[in-house]
Structure 1
């Protein structure tokens, strides 16, 4: 599993491929990535990829915007619990890309943009709530991942 930031010369496609690798990583690999620390800048970059306002996304993930700005400016890592949620959302983007590649036509499909739109749309399977509301806990992220998986099979959660 790659453990580098989406910043720099990494393209949108490279970032999504990285998220796919993260989605396929073992629990041990993901735990090691959390222990190494998730740079705060990754949350800013993820918001841009998803097309979501950074303030909305950081709050949804339980990262105070002031903390995010300070840590990103200093190139610091997020606390483990916050970093874990960022990785969880990156995994969901990777999961969406994998699902489209396995079950549909991935040409001209942007998993990050689709995921950003999905997070902001009321979801019937979530009682009409926004998927964005479930990003604050690892259990909520797991629920979203399972909901997406059910959509592929046609099973309604």
Structure 2
């Protein structure tokens, strides 16, 4: 989803698991929005207003909340980014992804190259682009090497 003015790509509720303390909401930006010179507080209010249909009155809920803006894509120690697949890529390359069954075992594995088994967030059918996908596919790759299912843990 993108904001009404193309301002944000997605958001994440970091308090969904009942984290103690004030709730945390993260906006993920893309394109020119990463270089917007408007204050972080103003941008957060704008994004919350843009998302009102989907998220309710987030703008009022976080009006007095502290806001922090980062540029982790420019941090030389992180160099972070997110990716998303364009239309048609999952259909074309879906056979290259790890797929996990209800029992935690791999229903489909990414192709191996000799003794090299690939894993990473980009190979996850369930969490592409997220840390969860890297953890999931790493566990599935380890299971493939060990020949047994490793129970998934939840936070």
**Superposition TM-score, scaled by structure 1 size:** 0.25
**Structure number with larger C-alpha Rg:** 2
Larger fraction in helix: 1
Larger fraction in strand: 2
**Superposition TM-score, scaled by structure 2 size:** 0.25
